[in-house]
């Protein structure tokens, strides 16, 4: 069940032949071992410190992976390991959102992009994002996400969108200051968008 994808394709798309190459593992969330879950949650806790212990984060992810939901059935973790630890990762899954006209459409949701603080500057973040974007296809042609570092994604071919974003279910919507899509050339509605569930 474990797949491997290289950042080579993404670098070609960006015409960035100088970027280093890394072995990015892309694994369905439901196939993750408890060891890999723990390594991923350890990196998350280091990058985004909160009062929730790693053990509880792992338990939460294990509970989520057992849920019979569209998100969990299609979630993929993209990560790079070095020295036994996960040093960079991203997550993707399919989400359906709607525009103000009521038209529903699917997007590839990108979430949890992070790199170990001591490993930054090596192109690891770019590598896991390219691996994530490699899942784009004809029926899922645009990635939609939020970020506090838009310039990072703009250099990779994404663009900021200025839609008013809400969530009609009452869950927490987007919280970062910028919403973005990839590729920048993708068709995108101009009006209000409803996430139809919690943000990512």
pLDDT in tens, the chain (200 residues): 233 333 333 433 443 434 457 899 999 988 889 899 889 989 988 898 888 787 887 787 777 766 666 666 789 999 999 999 999 999 999 999 999 889 999 999 999 999 999 999 999 999 999 999 999 998 899 999 999 999 999 999 999 999 999 999 999 999 999 999 999 999 999 999 999 999 99
Structure tokens at 79: 């990560």
What pLDDT shows up at residue 21?
76
Q: Output the pLDDT for position 134.
A: 96
CB 146 within 8 A of CB 179: yes
Cα angle vertex 40, ends 4, 91, to 5°?
Answer: 60
> Which CATH architecture does the domain made up of 3-194 adopt?
3-Layer(aba) Sandwich (3.40)
Spell out the domain ranges in the chain: 3-194
pTM: 0.84
**How high is the pLDDT of residue 18?**
41
The helix or strand, by DSSP H or E, that contains position 153, with its residue range, turns out to be: helix 150-154
């Amino acid at each position: 069940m474990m797949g491997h994808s290289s950042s080579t394709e993404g670098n070609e798309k960006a015409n960035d032949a100088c970027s280093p190459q890394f072995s990015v593992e892309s694994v369905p969330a439901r196939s993750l071992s408890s060891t890999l879950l723990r390594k991923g949650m350890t990196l998350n806790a280091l990058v985004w410190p909160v009062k929730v212990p790693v053990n509880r984060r792992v338990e939460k992810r294990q509970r989520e992976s057992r849920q019979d939901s569209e998100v969990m059935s299609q979630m993929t973790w993209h990560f790079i390991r070095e020295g036994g630890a996960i040093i960079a990762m991203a997550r993707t899954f399919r989400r359906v959102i709607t525009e103000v006209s009521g038209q529903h459409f699917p997007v590839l949701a990108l979430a949890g992009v992070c790199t170990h603080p001591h490993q930054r500057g090596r192109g690891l973040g770019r590598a896991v994002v390219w691996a994530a974007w490699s899942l784009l296809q004809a029926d899922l042609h645009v990635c939609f996400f939020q970020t506090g570092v838009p310039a990072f994604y703009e250099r990779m071919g994404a663009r900021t969108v200025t839609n008013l974003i809400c969530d009609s279910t009452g869950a927490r919507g987007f919280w970062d200051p910028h919403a973005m899509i990839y590729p920048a050339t993708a068709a995108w509605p101009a009006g209000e968008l409803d996430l139809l569930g919690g943000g990512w």
